[in-house]
Structure formats: structure tokens, C-alpha cells
A and B are shown apart, each in its own frame.
Chain A
């Protein structure tokens, strides 16, 4: 594969740092109901890790790691999952009713549906922002004699 990213130093650092960024994002999502954080913050941090990969290794490597098609699917799946948890509340009577057992305070599996909502929103935000940045990074404007033309640099079946 043609190496299109940044220099070797940046790639080495990114290779070391990316798992920690991803781990931090996932822990923010999972512990959103106990510590500061939550689905949105964790999802944005996960996207930051993928943007680091995109900058350091180039598009081809990152899209092999997480294809845009799958990211689009995850985006829709997160949104639908959140909505289905909200609709599940009708089993308890009202929209968004928290019908799972609450457990004990400061435990990971506590607070009923909140942790599942956090996971869904984390997946949704991370994949949605990744799709936006990936598509923006694929976009190119070409200046020709007739005017400005638009094309995508990576021909991917979308």
C-alpha cells in the first residue's frame, strides 16, 4: 500500500496513543452515570482518535479500519437504539420510562436504562462525526477553465 500519511514519527506516536484515546472515550461512555462524561463526550473523544488516525495514516488505512459504509450503519443503529429504548418505556406506561432495575449507587450496572442510552448515544455521535469528517476529507474542488468542479478523491461504493 502506498504510504500517504504523515511522517514516521507521527505515525509511531499515533499508533501508541490511539488505544488510550479510544479507551478513555469508551470509559467515559460506560461510566457516564457515575463520573462526569456521558455518551456525547465519549463519542466525540472516540471520533478524535479516528481523526488522529485519518491525519497520521491517510484515508485508505483508516477506511480499512472503519469503512464509511459501516460507520453510516452504526449512526443509524445508534439513533434507532436510543429511540427504541425510549419506546420501551411504553411497557411501563410512559415514554422514556426507566423500567430496568436500578441496582446500587456507584455500581457500573445501575441507574436502569441510562447506561444503555449512553452507549447508544456514544455509538451514534462517534460514527456520525466520523462520517462527516471522512466525507469532508474525501471532498475535492477542482478548478478548471469551465469553473469549479466537485469530486471525491476516494472512489468508494456508498
Chain B
């Protein structure tokens, strides 16, 4: 698959525009919607870069989080955001300049696309159809070669959900009167 570089750059610029609008927008609703735009374009980028697994997850997580954010805004928030003013713009420009210099420096030392520093990945890709009989190398890596990482991930989700349940519970809660 040949990568259309101009298409990628155009999508990235659109995504950046979505992020900037979501920071600078006056109303919370338009801010949330442009954040969703950025996330959905990110999933298209994942698809074009050959990662359909991540693209599927990105689409659905983005949609679910948009639903949660929009319903939260509709219910709880009345007041709109005030604009950040000159101070925010100056901070943004300084940060962008710093990032630009950093990326100029990083461009010199970064390795070419598809040639990572760690050579282990090629071994995983070679071994997964032969050793494990699993054609999808991503799942084979995540669930077999790197099972520890996935166990940690599952623990993180479990802890997060426990935190949500404990914070938003109604029983056993002392009412602050």
C-alpha cells in the first residue's frame, strides 16, 4: 500500500484545526463537537496507516465519549466559557515555537518510517503465524507475547470502574448536611 502523503498532511491539518477550534470556541457544545471531529479524523488516519484494530476502537471510544460529554453539558452546564484573552494566545504561541524547535531537532535523530529501534517486533510478526497459528499479529502480540501488558491494562480498567462506582455511589454515603 502506497501512502498518499498529501492526503495524510491534509487530514492532520484538519485534525489540528479541530483541536484549535475546540480550545478557542466560545460555547462548550461547539468545543466538544470539534473535539469529536479531531478524534474521528484520527481514526481515519489510523486506518490509512494500516492499523484497523486501533481505528475501530478509536471510532467507538470517540462516539461514546462524545455522547457522555454532550449529555453532561446539556444537563449540568448553563454558563458558556469566557475567552482566554491575550495572555492565552501569547502562551499558545510560545508553546508552539518551543514545540517547533523541538521537532526540528527531533527530525534529525528520528529513524525512518518502518525501521524502529527495537528489533523485537519483527520476531513477533514472524513467529505469530508459525508458532501460535494466529494470523493477526497484533492480537498475538497483545495476548500472548506481551500478556503482562494486557493484564496491567485490564487492571487499570478495573480500578477505574471501581473508582467510578465508589465515587458515585449512594449507599453508605454520609450526607453532608
CA of A37 to CA of B165, assembled, Å: 28
Taking a contact as CB atoms closer than 8 A, the residue among B154, B155, B165 that contacts A131 in the complex is: B165
Partner pick for B170 among A55, A106, A152, CB 8 A cutoff: A152
Nearest-neighbour CB distance to chain B for A109, whole angstroms, equals: 10
Are A44 and B136 neighbours in the complex by a CB distance under 8 Å?
Answer: no
Chain A neighbourhood of B83, CB < 8 A = none
Among A55, A76, A104, A138, the residue within 8 A (CB) of B133 is A104
Interface residues in A, total, Cβ within 8 A? 62
Which residues of the partner chain B approach A96 to less than 8 Å between Cβ atoms?
144, 147-148, 151
In the complex, what distance in Å separates the CA atom of A111 from the CA atom of B148? Answer: 18
Interface string of B144-177 (1 = CB under 8 A from A): 1001101100110110110011001111000001
Closest to A141 in B: B76
Query: Contact at A111–B52, with CB atoms within 8 Å?
Result: no
Say yes or no: A82 contacts B151, CB within 8 Å. Answer: yes
Tell yes or no: B94 within 8 A of A by CB.
no
Q: Interface centre among A44, A103, A137, by most B CB within 10 Å?
A: A44
Min C-beta distance of B131 to chain A, whole Å: 8
A102 to B140, CA, bound (A): 12
B56 touches A37 (CB 8 A): yes
Cβ of B144 and Cβ of A135 under 8 Å apart?
no
> What sequence of 0s and 1s flags, for each residue 56-80 of chain A, a beta carbon within 8 Å of any chain B beta carbon?
0000000000000000100110110
